[in-house]
Amino acid sequence: MRILERYILKSVIYIFFSCIFSFLFLYIIIDLLSNLDEILKHRATLMILSRYYLSYLPVMFVQVSPFACLLSTVYTFSKLNHNNEIIAMRSSGLSIFEIARNVLFFGLLISLLVFWVNDRFAPSALAENQKIKAQMEDGSKGVKSRRPEMILNLSMYGSRNRLFFISKFFIGTGTMEGITILEHDDNQNLTKKIVADKGEYIDGLWRFSRCITYNFDHNGQVIDEPSYFEEEIMAIPETPREFANLRQKPELMDIRQMQDYIWRVSKSGATTVIRNLKVDLYQRFAMPFTSLIIILLGIPFSLMTHKRATGMASIGVSIIVGFLYYILDAVCLALGKSGLFPPAMAASTSHLVVLSASIYLIAKLP
């Protein structure tokens, strides 16, 4: 690595990590002050507050990394432009891409790191964060809640075209209460309805108590009399662990869990749900590369900045550019979830547009 490349990269790395630590610190301070009355009300201890904010660090890192990349790039290149160092480099025969080569490589490393953190740590960290927040609201003071962990009003798609509605699902014991299961055929016509008071997972099998089964014809009319069993063993392949995973929101799943959930839901024919999940899945792959693309976008804007303005102008340019980028991304995702764009196109369009615009702007630089 040449001295000149180390000089530029050192500045970018220093500002990047300064921004990361500053954003994390500001978030914690602002959140503490905003929720100070609730913290005092529930008498949250220092230990549980530490766990709460530590559990949210992976999520915050994923969220602020692109903006930190943009700000560090814009500030560094604006300063080089202000000191006429860019002119000297270009005069020696270096192109913009040669000058920014190591910075782009750094952006690629950050993108891969964001992808890894977002898939391996962020979902579980967010789930833990929400769990700790619920404990604080219950006044648990950092100890485990006396009540069993429970999910209310669970609804999810399972295998064999089944739609589950469960009033209460107890994660620790693997039991559920207030169960309604709707089974459909391949044309999404209701064929069976199962209602039970309670379900327990024992020795790898689901045992339903006080279970009533209704069978329907192709017109949706009940066939014969409903069958009632005080206890019945049900052929349900989903385990309690799978129920706990499938009930999660997309942001609480990793990529493997999302792919498995989409595969299961696809058998139910729920088109809208499948489309939304696919948009979220493709967004998981595309979003981490925002850091790399936004560095490319920041370079031409930083060199267009007036030479007398570096510090505050860099921050202003970063905010405007980042804001427009995220608006475009949100619009594309909305179009994908509404069905106007295919899922893969919805997740990648904003990145491809910004990438193309960045390369065009860099090529047009004098």
> What mean pLDDT comes out for the span 339-349?
94
Q: What average pLDDT score do residues 44-52 get?
A: 86
Q: Which residue has the higher pLDDT, 285 or 90?
A: 285
Does residue 260 surpass a pLDDT of 70?
yes
Write the burial class of residue 92 (CB in 10 Å: 0-12 exposed, 13-18 middle, 19+ buried): exposed
CA atoms of 275 and 334, how far apart (whole Å): 11
Q: What is the CA angle 70-75-78, rounded to 5? A: 120
pLDDT tens digits, 15-36: 999 999 999 999 999 988 988 8
How much is the average pLDDT of 294-318? 71
Question: Of residues 285 and 218, which shows the higher confidence score?
Answer: 285
State the amino acid at position 222 in one-letter form. Answer: V
How do residues 144-169 score in pLDDT, each as one tens digit? 444 557 777 787 777 777 888 888 88
Bigger pLDDT: 289 or 84? 289
Least confident of 43-52, 84-93, 152-161, 179-188: 152-161
How far apart are the C-alpha atoms of 193 and 222, rounded to whole Å? 10
The band of 307, judged by pLDDT with boundaries at 50, 70 and 90, is: low
pLDDT of residue 142: 43
| Burial 133-142, CB ≥16 within 10 A → b, else e | bebbeeebeb
Average pLDDT, the chain: 85
Torsional class of 3: left (φ above 0), alpha (ψ -120 to 50), beta (otherwise): alpha
